[in-house]
A = this chain, B = another copy of it.
């Protein structure tokens, strides 16, 4: 039996109980009070793991590459966790990625933990939730945490870009031209991987990507404008892997380490700072909303939102009215 008390759950998870860890992650995913209690205790113990975001279009072989990375990293003895963010079922949620099947491959290895998290329709909440899950895994001793995202939508890119190191996967191109739609993904890449390297065109695709990355794509990169003034490589490395055979995977793991070592520390790291801010803003939003929709304010808030739905009140005036009501002390 798992304890239901958050403190006892935390102690069990820190002691290596993977079911307790899984229970805490479920609470984080569902944003329950247990999640807050557990995170408050675990967050100060986190902050040392390497968060690696892995994104790319469907069919680029993300899951297979993640398995190959796990195998390589485990040879070196490090504990590795995977948070697979699955946006395909925004409403009912549920683990569609077959993580149970994948877990079975590592059933005897307590230092591999794989967990899928469904997007549950929390607007903007996917990245903060993933960050919170990573903090839990970090505190519980996982040194490498892979944030694997499915699909190429906005939220997936945000999740991947919130990592310390962002890997963008591509499959070899059949045609002559790299698809323009990939430019958006490449903007967030620290490392670009052409997977399925045994297919025709892999080398050419890698060359084309290197040529692309020298040019305009990087110009718009937000991270260049961040407060981090330290010199950093202008273009991401482009590597070729064949996840099914493991070819190129040790080189990728080495590139991840190089990128990790080249990053600034603590709050000087723009990615870490942005993750922290996103978590705080998300919690702040939850708190305000709970306050406005609960207790004595519930009916007044509903009336304001109804008025906006009726177009009798504009949403800016509504927001100002709700903000004013928050400043009154008789909540």
Contacts and interface: CB of A to CB of B under 8 A. Distances in A.
A154 B156 contact: yes
A317 B327 CA distance: 20
A284 B123 CA distance: 14
Interface stretch (A64-72, A101-109, A178-186): A178-186
B39 A314 contact: yes
A112 interface: no
Interface stretch (A8-16, A242-250, A302-310): A302-310
Contact of A314 (B40, B273, B288): B40
Interface string A316-331: 1111101100110000
Given A91-B184, A284-B288, A289-B281, A309 B158 contact: no
Contact of A327 (B44, B281, B327): B327
Interface residues of A, number: 80
Contacts of A314: 39-40, 43-44
Contact of A88 (B152, B266, B283, B288): B152
Contacts of A172: none
Given A88-B184, A152-B153, A283-B315, A266 B310 contact: yes
Contacts of A253: none
A109 to B, nearest CB: 27
Contacts of A221: 91
Instruction: Identify whether the interface residues of A are mostly helix, strand, loop, or mixed.
Output: helix
A285 B161 CA distance: 22
Nearest to A156: B153
B273 A90 contact: no
Identical subunits present:
2
Contacts of A96: 180-181, 184
A196 interface: no
A308 B284 contact: no
A278 interface: yes
Contacts of A146: none
B181 A88 contact: yes
Contact of A90 (B158, B277, B322): B158
A90 B46 CA distance: 29
A251 interface: no
A318 B280 contact: yes
Given A39-B316, A157-B90, A280 B306 contact: no
Contact of A310 (B47, B88, B322): B47
A317 to B, nearest CB: 7
A125 interface: yes
B91 A220 contact: yes
Question: Would you list the 9 A-B pairs with minimal beta carbon distance, nearest first?
Answer: A153-B153, A124-B124, A92-B220, A47-B311, A123-B124, A87-B154, A89-B184, A276-B308, A43-B314
